[in-house]
Amino acid sequence: MSMVKLTINNIPVEVPEGTTILWAAKKAGFTIPTLCHHPDLTPGGQCGICVVEIEGIPGLKRSCMTPAADGFKVKTHTPRVMATRRQLVELILSNHDTECLTCVKNNNCELQKLAATVGINTLDYGNALKEKLPIDRSSVAIVRDPNKCILCGRCIEVCSRVQTVNALAVNHRGFDTVITTAFNAGLGNSVCINCGQCVVHCPVGALYEKSAVDEVWDAIHDPDKFVVVQEAPAVRVQLGEEFDMPTGSLVSGKMHAALRRLGFDAVLETNFTADLTILEEGTELIGRLTSGKNLPLITSCSPGWIKFMETFFHDMIPHMSTAKSPQQMFGALAKTYYAEAKGIDPAKIVSVSVMPCTAKKFECLRPEMNASGHRDVDYVLTTRELGRMMREAGLDIREMPDEPADDLLGDYTGAATIFGATGGVMEAAVRSAYRLVTGRELEDVEIKPVRGLKGIKEAEIDIDGTKVKVAVAHSCGQARALLDKVRDQIAKDGKSEYQFIEVMACPGGCVGGGGQSWGSNIAKRARRGESLYEEDRSLPWRRSHENPSVQALYEKYLEKPNSEKAHKLLHTHYYKRSTVDGKVLPNK
């Protein structure tokens, strides 16, 4: 790769050709203030905050989208540049609902930080607020407040280009510009898949989860209720960031302790049902490989992906695994198996989950998710909401002891914990499928080709001479590319080259979910994923079928994977959805 040499504020720096001035400056030790820029997204150049002066070039240049060139003499904080930045921030503030103290993003807002960074202490421009627009609460997962929106375009970029969902777009123009959904009908009446990538990419408080914090507090404080909580794998490598711990800190035990201290009556594990998912889905895979029907089998753990598939790829429904996601398996068992074993009236159980995900809020409300005879999961909290509850209760994750989860639905294996990273479900499934087919254990349990953040990962697994071609996609954009290919192959050859496909809706898998802390980026997602693999290595069991509590569950309650009872409680079905409003289409 050819390099270019330039100076940033007289400091020489050499960077690969094509590097933007913003990154070249970073290399030279200067962090140029930005607002609309996000390291994972194509810059749109909306805000102009990152402008710099380049000697010999008239005007100011946006450093986020100007490539460094040989001989550039860049100045990042001349009087002209600094005055311009201040004026631009003032212009943004002239049009921003600055009710910071009551904003969900207070203390986490990039605009708030920027105003402090560039030193805004007076506002010279008249307040130019638009007439208050209604807050979009139509979605069960995501709230959209157009009054806070600064039109940076990140949400559209991630929704359209990364996820290829296209739920959001710019409407109207000039001063009246708003970002909204088709027909301004609201996210809940759109193709939005609730993945929440818009939420984690929003620099301000314009997009946030529909909070269940108050409802959960009420349940905890209600003496008649027995409140159980489950936590997804990706939460334990992220919760620490809510309390300024290094990215990816593994806090499984501290998390259990904190939940207990918040007042949950039983602290259980989504990881338990992740193991269960593997046995159900693995058995399903073997059934399909044997019959040769409906291959490839496609995983179904990610509710954002499920709605995406139902909307844009509903011809793939026969290929989908019918296994519920671990969250919903847990919900169905909590109010049946667990309630019976503990002698609790299931009507009094409030089932709460902590998820790295906003789509889980949608999933738990799907009408069919009531196998227990009750709502299987009552409330979903995102990792952020758990952080909020802990702070309110005066709990700091760093000060928590390490505690185990409670019994019956609390044990988990390494195979379960890697569910949180892209490729993890695939790897876990292979570890158990090998045993199910051959009766022997897979010696080297680490399937490296399906790990990491490459867009689409492929591998060929040899199960005693049977070759199984697998593929892993993370982000709906990658899933779309992969599924387009599968669709073409099936149309052309009657079958696909793949037998098993894992899809996660979010980039990086659940560690990059829409319910994780603000300020997510690829580097953080990668780091969190690595921590999950570290936990995997540290656990006594690394194969789902080794989980003693799962074995007990089958022995005492479900008989065997894919049994009739297992089907009733742990499996589900899918719907065709409209590409206009995401609503379920009538069956033809």
Partner 1 sequence: MNLVRNHVLISIDAGTIMAGARAVEKALVEEINKQGLSGEIAVLETGSIGATGQGVVIVVYPEGIYYANVTPADAAELVEEHLLKGRPVKRLIMTEMPKQHVIKKEKTGLLREQPRIVLRNSGVINPENIDEYIAEGGYEALEKAFTDLKPAGVTKEVKDSGLMGRGGAAFTTAMKWEFAARAPGDVKYIICNADEGEPGTFKDRLILEGDPHKLIEGMILAGYAVGATKGFVYIRGEYALSIERLEKAITQARLYGLLGDDILESGFSFDIAVMKGAGAYVCGEETALIESLEGKRGHPRNKPPYPVTEGLWAKPTVVNNVETLANVPEIVRNGAAWYRGYGTDKCPGTKVYTIIGNVATPGLIEAEMGTTLRDIIYEYAGGIKDGKKFKGALVGGAAGAFMGPEMLDAKMDFVNLKEYAAVLGSGAILVMDEDADIVGMLQSVLHFFRHESCGHCVPCRLGTNQLAEIIDRIAEGKGKTEDVDKLVSISEVMRDTSFCPLGQSPVLPITSSLRFFRDEVYSRVQ
Instruction: Name the site residues for partner 1 (rule: CB under 8 A).
Output: 43-48, 51, 59-60, 62, 65, 80, 84, 87-88, 91-92, 94-95, 124-126, 128, 150-151, 169-170, 172-177
Q: What's the rounded Cα separation, in Å, for the pair 228 and 20?
A: 50
73-75 vs 456-463, strand pairing mode: unpaired
Closest separation between CB of residue 446 and partner 1, Å?
A: 42
Closest separation between CB of residue 44 and partner 1, Å?
A: 8
Nearer to partner 1, 177 or 538 (CB): 177
Nearer to partner 1, 36 or 501 (CB): 36
- Specify whether 357 is catalytic: no
Paired tokens of 8: 């940033």
Nearer to partner 1, 177 or 438 (CB): 177
Considering the candidates 335, 360, 457, 524, report the single residue annotated as catalytic: 360
Q: In one letter, which amino acid is 433?
A: A
Nearer to partner 1, 56 or 292 (CB): 56
Cβ(131)–Cβ(176) under 8 Å? no
Q: What's the rounded Cα separation, in Å, for the pair 193 and 580?
A: 12
CA–CA distances in Å: residue 317 to residues 230, 283, 309, 440, 539: 28, 18, 8, 32, 35
Q: What's the rounded Cα separation, in Å, for the pair 348 and 425?
A: 33
Closest separation between CB of residue 174 and partner 1, Å?
A: 4
Nearer to partner 1, 97 or 241 (CB): 97
Considering the candidates 110, 209, 269, 284, report the single residue annotated as catalytic: 284
- Specify whether 360 is catalytic: yes
Considering the candidates 110, 231, 242, 363, report the single residue annotated as catalytic: 363
Considering the candidates 139, 300, 321, 517, report the single residue annotated as catalytic: 321
Closest separation between CB of residue 92 and partner 1, Å?
A: 6
- Specify whether 301 is catalytic: yes
Closest separation between CB of residue 125 and partner 1, Å?
A: 6
DSSP letter for 426, please.
H
Q: Which of 305, 372, 5 is nearest to 164 (CA)?
A: 305
Q: Which of 273, 363, 293 is nearest to 566 (CA)?
A: 273
Nearer to partner 1, 94 or 108 (CB): 94
- Specify whether 510 is catalytic: yes
- Specify whether 321 is catalytic: yes
Closest separation between CB of residue 119 and partner 1, Å?
A: 16
- Specify whether 215 is catalytic: no
Considering the candidates 475, 510, 520, 535, report the single residue annotated as catalytic: 510
- Specify whether 565 is catalytic: no
Q: In one letter, which amino acid is 227?
A: V
Q: Give me the half-sphere count of Cα atoms (radius 13 Å) on the Cβ side of residue 545.
A: 20
Question: Strands, E, within 289-356: which ranges?
Answer: 297-298, 349-355
Considering the candidates 17, 99, 340, 368, report the single residue annotated as catalytic: 368
Paired tokens of 523: 């580097």
Paired tokens of 350: 């409030």
Active site residues: 281, 284, 301, 321, 360, 363, 368, 510
